[in-house]
Amino acid sequence: MGGWTAAGKGLLIALLLAFTAAISPSASAASTKKAKGSDSPPLMLQLPVDTGRRDPSSVVFPIYGDVYPHGLYYVAMSIGDPPKPYFLDIDTGSDLTWLQCDAPCVRCSKGPHPWYRPTRNKLVPCRDPLCAALHVGTIHDENCDQCDYQIQYEDRGSSLGVLISDAFNLRLINTTVVRPVFAFGCGYDQQFATQNAPTPTDGLLGLGTGKISVLSQLSDQGVTKNVMGHCLGGKGGGYLFFGDDFVPTSLMTWAPMSRSRNYYSPGPANLYWGTRSLGVNQMEMVFDTGSTFTYFGFQPYQAFLSAVKSDLSKKPLKEEFDDPSLPVCWKGPKAFKSVKDVKKHFKTLALNFVNGNRALLEVPPENYLIITKHGNACLGILNGTEAGLNKDLNIIGDISMQDRMVVYDNERQHIGWVQIGCDRLPKPGASSR
């Protein structure tokens, strides 16, 4: 949901709240006459549509957007019958996919496409396993006729609605077009950072680890393996893929997924500035494409900021306090045009993950600096404590994942990355699996 707010304002790790009341008649046409639970079999029991295949395949989507100035990356997907296009903000930090929904809509912002319009037979009943998965950890009434949800994000945005099912048009790498039926949110009441302002996307694509995520549903229906990857272009664009056909057979750095969180985490890491330890150890890290920028908790952020300022004390840069783009900026003798103009003054930040083979994630200046429209160089690593995040949570956001492929392999329970160009779609057959 990073695209729903100003760049860098939103960390999009979702917390699902219990919402057991039925939709009020004023809020949704779906409540004027509730659907019978027997009218719609559980989605988990439905077979994939039009597959005609035995083995899982893969699908790839072009990514649009950038870190600056737009502050989000998104994909175009065709949903419904007949299929219609929608732009969805990619978010590995949350599970539920949702569209702004004319049910009718109580609070929605104008997006690039007309709001999704549901029909009564699309309602997901509470007895469906995906509804139970959506409400895991909360009290859930399996006898209700519709699966309501209320989801809140760390950026104070929210979506309230009802779970529905519809077909997603997907073109697999073997050119076959399939139309699996997915469950997703029909969001008829959204809270945005800037209410009533136009939004660049129509909703959110939940790519997290939960059973309700698009990736999990694809895997459970046998369309793809439970593997996903993305490549975010430093100059914008890139690609997103489901399945394992695009995973490189070599050069990947792998770290085991941490089982202490429900998010994509390679576990704890030690922090280095160049080759020097910053004395910050066991930082728990999370990969989150729903966050434009990278966030450190108070202690690691202060250690990082002190190291940067110490290095720059003898450089021809002066701190700039009047750039509204980001909190910490510097200006030079003349306006910077790109990171190339200033990167020589900054070192590479490194995260050394202590689990497994001590995997190293290097973050060069290009992956933590922003050159703003004012010609200043600003830090794209922010203070997560000031942003209101959990004090133990450290986020690897879009800026620090640019120009590298990041792979989330839920089959083997590990996360991998490799420096690679993101300006063209990958060719299948790279995987040894």
- Gap between the Cα atoms of 237 and 423, Å rounded: 7
Q: Are strands 414-419 and 253-256 parallel, antiparallel or unpaired?
A: antiparallel
3-state SS, residue 9:
coil
Place of tokens 């997924």: 257
- Determine whether 323 is an active site residue: no
Q: Which residues contact 156 (CB under 8 A, 6 or more apart)?
A: 191, 193
- Gap between the Cα atoms of 104 and 31, Å rounded: 11
Catalytic residue among 128, 155, 288, 403: 288
92 residue type, one letter: T
Spatial contact of 153 and 138, defined as CB atoms under 8 Å apart: no
Catalytic residue among 91, 145, 202, 403: 91
Q: Which two tokens stand for residue 15?
A: 């917390």
Q: In 3D, which of 429, 421, 423, 408 has the Cα closest to residue 229?
A: 408
Spatial contact of 202 and 77, defined as CB atoms under 8 Å apart: no
DSSP characters for 149-207?
Answer: EEEE-TTS-EEEEEEEEEEEEEE-TTS-EE--EEEEEEEEEEE-SSTTS--SSSEEEE-
Cα angle, residue 269 at apex, residues 265 and 271 outer, rounded to 5°: 135
- Determine whether 244 is an active site residue: no
Which residues are annotated as catalytic?
A: 91, 288
